């Protein structure tokens, strides 16, 4: 077993926050790898200063809304896909790479003993596999095909990461059928900690569109990320 629970946000948020300051987390990977949006990217020095100071950044209304929407989006994914989706609140670490950690939103596991909803919810689903959009029954079949090719960790064969996006963000997700690069980086950083091959990056766009991007494991990127995160850790946190 390579994955360990470092701290549980639901049990003690203060401990969870303190533990995050001592490792490089998946949500920080875009700053480590230089894939963050230019409007809010952070240098290594700035990121380290924030982690060392222990100060929490401002929780904006949009960030608060994203936290609130997390469970409904996961329930939406569960209903549409027909798979078990288990919410996760722990900060996860890797035995062999103790300098990195990830707070994943959910595990995706075995099929439930029921058929997924067909109407009207499937009309709002777009499953993107390698940049190709699948809708309706094709999306559901796509979930099944991905499951057949996946390896398992305990009861799960994939992770799920949720995003709450406004209508003005739609172009970032639709063209060219890929999510923003900084979210792809976050997904790869999660798989650098958890030995799974797939993250369902699930975004509610505007009122009722659900975009599910199947992000496949990229071992070359993960090796680079682990190396860069170790450099950051040794320079600022060790």
Q: What is the mean pLDDT of the chain?
A: 86
Q: Which of 219, 193, 187, 205 is nearest to 30 (CA)?
A: 187
The answer on pLDDT for 21 being more than 80 is yes
Q: What angle do CA 101, 38, 91 make, to 5 degrees?
A: 15
Q: Where are the beta strands (DSSP E) in the chain?
A: 3-8, 24-25, 83-87, 90-94, 97-102, 106-111, 125-129, 132-135, 156-165, 198-205, 209-216
The answer on pLDDT for 120 being more than 80 is no
Token pair listed for 116: 């997924």
* 58-91 residue pLDDT tens: 667 666 766 778 888 898 888 877 788 999 999 9
The answer on pLDDT for 15 being more than 90 is yes
Percent of the chain at pLDDT exceeding 70? 85
So what's the pLDDT on residue 126?
74
What are the CA-CA distances from residue 5 to residues 105, 114, 186 (Å)?
14, 31, 19
When pLDDT is cut at 50, 70 and 90, the band that residue 152 belongs to is: confident
So what's the pLDDT on residue 118?
52
Residues 116-140 have a mean pLDDT of 71
So what's the pLDDT on residue 96?
95
So what's the pLDDT on residue 113?
55
pTM for the whole structure:
0.89
* 85-99 residue pLDDT tens: 999 999 999 999 999
Token pair listed for 190: 């999660």
Candidate CATH numbers 3.40.47.10, 3.40.630.10, 3.40.50.720, 3.90.320.10; the one for domain 3-237: 3.90.320.10
When pLDDT is cut at 50, 70 and 90, the band that residue 151 belongs to is: confident
The answer on pLDDT for 49 being more than 90 is yes
């Amino acid at each position: 077993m390579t994955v360990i629970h470092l701290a549980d946000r639901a049990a003690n948020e203060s401990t969870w926050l303190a533990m995050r300051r001592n490792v490089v987390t998946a949500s920080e990977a875009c700053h480590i790898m230089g894939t963050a949006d230019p409007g809010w990217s952070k240098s290594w020095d700035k990121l380290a200063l924030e982690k060392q100071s222990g100060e929490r950044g401002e929780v904006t209304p949009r960030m608060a809304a994203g936290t609130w929407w997390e469970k409904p989006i996961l329930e939406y994914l569960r209903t549409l896909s027909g798979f078990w989706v288990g919410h996760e609140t722990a900060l996860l670490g890797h035995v062999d790479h103790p300098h990195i950690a990830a707070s994943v939103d959910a595990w995706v596991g075995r099929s439930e003993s029921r058929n997924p909803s067909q109407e009207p919810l499937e009309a709002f689903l777009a499953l993107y596999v390698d940049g190709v959009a699948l809708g309706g029954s094709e999306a559901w079949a796509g979930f099944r095909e991905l499951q057949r090719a996946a390896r398992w960790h305990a009861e799960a064969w994939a992770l799920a990461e949720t995003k709450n996006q406004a209508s003005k963000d739609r172009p970032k997700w639709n063209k060219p059928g890929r999510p923003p690069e900084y979210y792809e980086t976050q997904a790869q950083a999660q798989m650098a900690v958890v030995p799974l091959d797939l993250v369902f990056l699930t975004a509610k766009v505007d009122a009722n569109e659900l975009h599910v991007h199947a992000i496949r494991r990229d071992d070359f990127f993960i090796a680079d990320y682990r190396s860069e995160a170790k450099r950051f850790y040794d320079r600022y946190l060790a």
